Amino acid sequence: MIVFKTFFKVLSRYKFSMIMYLAIALAIITIMSGFNSSGNASYYSVSQGIIVLDNDKSEVSRGLIAYLETINYIYEDDYTEEQITDMIYYTKASNYLIIPEGFGEAFLSDSGNPLKIESTKEVDTRMGYTVEAEMDSYLKLTANYMKGGYSFSEADELSRESLADMSAVNMVSEVVIQDDKIFTVFTILPYALLTLLCSAVLPVILRFGTMLISRRTGISSLPSVKKQSMLALASALVTIGMICVLIIISSLLSGEMLTARWALIAIDVIVFSMTAVMIIIALSSFGINPEAAPAITNIVALSFSFLGGIFVPIEHLGGTAKAIGQFLPTYWYSEAIERIKSGGGLNDIAICLGIQLLFGLMVMVIGMLYGRYNLRKAE
């Protein structure tokens, strides 16, 4: 029992870093959960952010901005050049449009040589092109309606109505991908779990394994097996506590609990946690200095998260990243979430769960063999 109690005593030293990692994970979850869309059962145009500087303020420029606003998000505040560069660089906005003074007048006069709208974008990006194409489509259609004898307001209305018509687009996918908040929120949980376990449980186990302490406990009357099982029990209890806290917070943030898909996701989280514990056990066999725990936490959590599709969706990653990612449990955790998103059941995600556990077992066995080798070498 003394080992069990000491574990928690040592753990209390790390409460600050636990709170810190939990706060960071929750901040990321809260921010990212604001970006989920409503699903893809029907077609919708992809929205871009557009910064508009309207120097014309004519009927035409207002009509154009109103049309662009039906698809995109318009920023019309007074931004400095630096702010505009920041927004385009960080893809908050795809284009910065300057509508020149006299644009509306030139457009209505139909001189054949129209004034042009300056569009600053990251060169060659698809998003930037899409906005320019939308502008050109609207202005050309409106100009042609006007050539056909309609006034600007009639042409503007007809163009907007026509361009909003999406009836020509058919979604032929048989699978309806749900894109609700629950998926965004739970996708980020492995990062939280890995950081919490690496920053709190790992250094405690490492401290028990430092030379002086392990020699001291080694000559005590407490059998080694009992010591190890007490450590394992304490680690398991802490992990279960962390899982419960994270699942409850995530469920509250996503506003969904005790549904069929929630249960599947919870199973995925539990299996991943078991894998994470096995990784921790493996790491603790390498005789690392407990002071290195912050660096290890960041290396393990960030690399597993980035390569496993936790922060950046797997489909956006390059070929090499995807290939490497397949050897990580985070990849299969994300894959299971994707399958649940597509309406998959327990049978569909079983392989993902199995691979996660297999990874954990493999790493743990390697770690334990290495630990045993080191012990024999020392003897």
Partner 1 sequence: MFLNILCKKLKICVNNKQNIFWTLMFPIILGTLFTIAFGGIFESYKFEQVKTAVVFDTDNEQVVENAKTFLEGISNDGKKLLDIQYLEYDEAEALLKDGEKVNGIIRVKEDGKLTLDILSNGVLSTIQQSIVTGYNQNVTMIEKVAKEHPEKLYEVIKGVSENTSYVLPKSLGGDNKDPFISYFYNLLAMTTLFASMHSLRIGNNTQANMSKVGARANASPVRRMSFQIAGFIASFLVSLAVVEIGLTVMIFILRVEFGGNILMIYLTSALAALLGVSLGFFVGNLGSFSLDKKEGILVGITLLGCALSGLMYGDMKIIIAEKAPFINKINPAAVISDSYYALNMFGVGGRFFETVMYMVGLSLILTIGGLLLGRKVSYDSI
Site for partner 1 in 126-185 (CB under 8 A): 126-130, 132-137, 139-141, 143-145, 147-150, 158-159, 162-163, 165-166, 168-173, 177
Residue 120 or 178: the one with the smaller Cβ distance to partner 1 is: 120
Residue 46 or 244: the one with the smaller Cβ distance to partner 1 is: 46
User: Which H or E run includes 30?
Assistant: helix 15-33
Residue 128 or 329: the one with the smaller Cβ distance to partner 1 is: 128
Q: Which of 238, 272, 290 is nearest to 8 (CA)?
A: 238
Residue 187 CB, shortest distance to partner 1, in Å, is 12
Among 3, 67, 121, 187, binds partner 1 (CB under 8 A): 121
Q: Which of 72, 256, 247 is nearest to 178 (CA)?
A: 256
Residue 40 CB, shortest distance to partner 1, in Å, is 5
Residue 272 or 304: the one with the smaller Cβ distance to partner 1 is: 304
Among 53, 236, 266, 302, binds partner 1 (CB under 8 A): 302
Residue 48 or 251: the one with the smaller Cβ distance to partner 1 is: 48
Among 59, 108, 120, 286, binds partner 1 (CB under 8 A): 120
Q: Rg of the Cα trace of the chain?
A: 28
Residue 66 or 312: the one with the smaller Cβ distance to partner 1 is: 312
State which of positions 264-293 bind partner 1 (CB under 8 A).
289, 291-292
What is the token pair recorded at 51? 């910064």
Among 2, 5, 23, 374, binds partner 1 (CB under 8 A): 23
Kind of pairing, strands 49-54 and 73-75?
parallel
Residue 262 or 304: the one with the smaller Cβ distance to partner 1 is: 304
Residue 275 CB, shortest distance to partner 1, in Å, is 19
Among 221, 223, 320, 377, binds partner 1 (CB under 8 A): 320
Query: Binding-site residue total for partner 1 (CB under 8 A)?
Result: 96
Q: How far apart are the C-alpha atoms of 329 and 351, rounded to whole Å?
A: 12
Q: How far apart are the C-alpha atoms of 208 and 205, rounded to whole Å?
A: 5
Q: How far apart are the C-alpha atoms of 249 and 255, rounded to whole Å?
A: 10
CA 377 to chain centre: 44
Residue 96 or 359: the one with the smaller Cβ distance to partner 1 is: 96
Q: How far apart are the C-alpha atoms of 166 and 354, rounded to whole Å?
A: 43
State which of positions 58-117 bind partner 1 (CB under 8 A).
82, 85-92, 107, 112, 114, 116-117
Residue 185 CB, shortest distance to partner 1, in Å, is 14
Confirm if 163 and 67 have CB atoms less than 8 A apart: yes
Q: Which of 1, 126, 104 is nearest to 56 (CA)?
A: 104
Among 2, 27, 252, 375, binds partner 1 (CB under 8 A): 27
Q: How far apart are the C-alpha atoms of 117 and 135, rounded to whole Å?
A: 9
State which of positions 323-352 bind partner 1 (CB under 8 A).
324
Which residues are within 8 A (CB) of 115 and not within 5 positions of it... i.e. 6 or more apart?
A: 100, 102, 103, 106, 107
Q: Does 210 participate in binding partner 1 (rule CB under 8 A)?
A: no
State which of positions 184-203 bind partner 1 (CB under 8 A).
191
* CA trace torsion 141, 142, 147, 148 (10° rounding): 80
